[in-house]
Amino acid sequence: MSLQRIVVSGTGAGVGKTVFCAGLVSLLGAKFWKPVQAGVEGEIDSERVARLASLPLDRIVPERYRLPAIVSPDCSSEIDEVRINIDSLDVPDPGAYPLVIEGAGGLMDPLNCGSLYIDVLERWRLPVVLCAGTSLGMVNCALLSIEALRRRQLDILGIAFVGEKNSGAVRAICEIGRVRWLGRLPWIAPLSADTLQAAFRASFRHDDFKP
């Protein structure tokens, strides 16, 4: 049986995908890969995941593209005069480990002038976990993202929420979107490997991430 390979995408930038990925990597004992990193000053996303998941460096798959500017990948690549070729984003062989792949921004964010991130997901045909915030307006963003995934006939493992409790909105998304609720990761302070891993294990079940 092949090992798990899961894509973590989001309803947009800033919803907590990287912290969620760190918790999921730890839960599954997985490797981590973020194919496109926009912004390389300070701690980048793969380094944050390694720290919060207590992950050895050999379980971080190097990015295919590291773009210095902290803007969307298409803008960052234009600034640096680098074109992101989606044909170069083949999923690496994770060896003896599951693999968690973090997308950049939201599903409809462009990687270049002609390709969206969801185009890459359509090529991969891997199961997707959708991360959503719990703030005002997230119902619309979440339902649009679910519809976009379904239009491409992509397998949605479920939706994971990050933030404060918002039961009414969460119920509306799961019922209207006909998508499985995986759990909710609350804001964690202080955020460390120990506090994240404890909160993640209290909020999510390993078996729910089986394809």
Task: List, as one string, the DSSP characters of 59-103.
Answer: GEEPPSEEESSSS-HHHHHHHTT----GGG-PPPP-TTS-EEEEE
The answer to whether residues 28 and 202 touch, using CB atoms and an 8 Å cutoff, is no
Quick one: which H or E segment has residue 129? strand 128-133
pLDDT of residue 75: 67
Contact present, 196 and 55 (Cβ < 8 Å): no
Burial 162-186 (b: 16+ CB within 10 A, else e): bbeebeebbeebbeebebeebbbbe
pLDDT digits (tens, 9 = 90+) for 143-198: 999 999 999 999 999 999 999 999 999 999 999 999 999 999 999 999 999 999 99
pLDDT of residue 82: 76
Q: Is the pLDDT higher at 41 or at 58? A: 58
Q: Which CATH class is domain 5-209?
A: alpha beta
Q: What is the pLDDT of residues 110-133, one digit of tens each?
A: 888 888 999 999 999 999 999 999
Q: Which residues pair with 130 in a beta bridge?
A: 9, 159
Output the pTM of the full model: 0.93
Would you say the C-alpha torsion 150, 153, 158, 162 has a positive or negative sign?
Answer: negative
Q: Which residue blocks in the chain are alpha helix, DSSP H?
A: 17-28, 45-52, 73-79, 117-124, 138-151, 167-177, 193-203
Instruction: Give the whole-angstrom CA distance, residue 203 versus residue 186.
Output: 9
Tell me: pLDDT of 1 over 60.
no
Residue 89 CA to residue 124 CA, distance in Å, equals 9
Distance CA 122, CA 115 (A): 11
Q: Which two tokens stand for residue 4?
A: 């798990």
- As a whole number, mean pLDDT of residues 132-148 equals 93
C-alpha 185/C-alpha 163 separation (Å) is 6
pLDDT on residue 79: 67
Condensed to tens digits (0 to 9), the pLDDT of residues 47-90 reads 999 999 999 999 999 999 988 766 666 665 666 677 888 889 99
CB 25 within 8 A of CB 100: yes
> Catalytic residue numbers?
34
Length of the chain: 211
38 pLDDT band, cuts 50/70/90, is confident
